[in-house]
Amino acid sequence: MTKILHFRDYKSDAANWITLVSGEFYPDILTDACKLYRPILELFGQLLKKFENSKRLLLEIASISEQWMRIQLLRVFRKYVSPNTPVEMLKKKSKVQWICDEFGKYFRPIVEVQKAFESRPMPDEALCAILWEYKDRGQKGYDMTEKMFELLRTKFPAYEIIGPERAGRDILLGEVFKNYTKPDRPVDFIIRKNNFVYAVGLARYDSDRGGAQEDDRTGGYLNASREILEYTKDKKMKTKVIFVNDGPGLLLGSMWDDYSYLEETFKNIRVVTLRMIEERITEEWLKQ
């Protein structure tokens, strides 16, 4: 049996084991960004002139049926009117009236918003660049998971590799395992053959991460690992847990050590980058 290195063993050469997903250069993005978001800014300007207060403006934006347009307008609204209101909260139509009631007193008055808006050029390159950042949020993660599925399917052609390859609904473990402890536990992929689940996995691309985010990520992974492995042990299953993490964020702070600790704390866990899949995720290990 070939000796398999631990995740910690790669630390001295860590930079050579991560995958860099290319990004876009500034100011190259500005032409496309301004072309894409100019209609959004023009519509926002029209709505500003139409309503007597910022609450009415928000209610009107929330009533727009076309989702992409509505979300972009909400992002502009947040920048100009209510920077303390979470975007995810604004996205929920059912929450809009509640937001107005609870936070409306903190909204910037619409006259001031109009004045600030008109002080900027049309299109506003700075705001278009910010909105463009939202557009590509998660793109590197999608690119990584697409490559991951390709690698796993090439390596294990006799197995089913199931999960959302880019955007898509996560797999819920309650749909995979009977009477699972936390049925709404989401995972990114499973490796299955003849209806037996050999592994469940989570995949993330860390382009930049540190501080509290480090603790949140690895703490969440610890909880998920404990939950999954307690269930599989109780059911006398040998299902493995795989964490595919990649990107330069792994080189920041204590991330590498934290993932090493995670792998060493529980049996049946492996943490890998894309470049480690070939040598560390083996059929022999899956079947142990």
Mean pLDDT of 164-193: 88
Which of 109, 135, 161 delimits the end of a domain? 135
Mean pLDDT of 51-78: 90
What the block records as the tokens of 181 is 């402890």
pLDDT digits (tens, 9 = 90+) for 238-267: 899 999 988 888 888 788 998 999 899 888
Confidence of residue 211 (pLDDT cuts 50, 70, 90): very low
My answer on whether 280 and 162 are in the same domain is: yes
Q: Give this prediction's pTM.
A: 0.72
From 11-15, 85-89, 232-236, the region with the lowest mean pLDDT: 85-89
Which of 75, 107, 135 delimits the end of a domain? 135
The whole-number pLDDT of residue 248 equals: 85
My answer on whether 99 and 190 are in the same domain is: no
My answer on whether 38 and 179 are in the same domain is: no
Computed over every residue of the chain, the mean pLDDT equals 87
181 lies in which domain range? 7-21+138-287
Confidence of residue 216 (pLDDT cuts 50, 70, 90): low
Mean pLDDT of 190-212: 81
pLDDT digits (tens, 9 = 90+) for 3-47: 778 999 999 999 999 887 666 788 988 999 999 999 999 999 999
My answer on whether 70 and 207 are in the same domain is: no
My answer on whether 186 and 101 are in the same domain is: no
Residue 2 lies in a domain: no
Mean pLDDT of 271-281: 93
